[in-house]
Amino acid sequence: MNQEFLISIIEMLGTFAFAISGIRHAAAKHFDWFGGYVCGIAVAIGGGTIRDVLLGATPFWMTTPIYMICTAVALLTVVFMGKWMEPLKNAWFVFDTFGLALFTVAGIQKSLAFGQPFWVAVIMGCITGAAGGVIRDVLLNNEPVIFHKEIYAMASVLGGIVYWIGLETGLSVGVTAIVSFVLTCVVRFLAVRYHISLPILASEDAKS
Non-local (6+) Cβ contacts of 202 within 8 A are none
Residue 50 CA, chain-centre distance (Å), reads 13
pLDDT tier for residue 21 given thresholds of 50, 70 and 90: confident
Residue 141 CB-density burial (10 A; 0-12 exposed, 13-18 middle, 19+ buried):
exposed
**Three-class secondary structure of residue 197 per DSSP:** strand
Taking only Cα atoms into account, the Rg of the chain, rounded to an integer number of angstroms, comes to: 17
Q: CA-CA distance, 40 to 54, in Å (whole number)? A: 22
Mean pLDDT lowest among 70-74, 85-89, 171-175: 85-89
CB burial of 111-129 (b: ≥16 within 10 Å; e: otherwise) equals bbebebebebbbbbbbbbb
What proportion of the chain, given as a percentage, has pLDDT over 70? 89
The conformational region for residue 95 under phi > 0 = left, psi -120 to 50 = alpha, else beta, is: alpha
Residue 204 has pLDDT above 60, yes or no: yes
Residue 42 has pLDDT above 90, yes or no: yes
Q: CA-CA distance, 92 to 140, in Å (whole number)? A: 15
Q: Are 112 and 145 in contact (CB under 8 A)?
A: no
Residue 1 has pLDDT above 90, yes or no: no
Residue 33 CA, chain-centre distance (Å), reads 22
Convert the pLDDT of each residue in 6-15 to its tens digit: 777 877 888 8
This prediction's pTM: 0.87
Q: Are 37 and 72 in contact (CB under 8 A)?
A: yes
Q: Which residue has the higher pLDDT, 207 or 69?
A: 69
Residue 185 has pLDDT above 90, yes or no: yes
Non-local (6+) Cβ contacts of 175 within 8 A are 166
Amino acid at 200: I
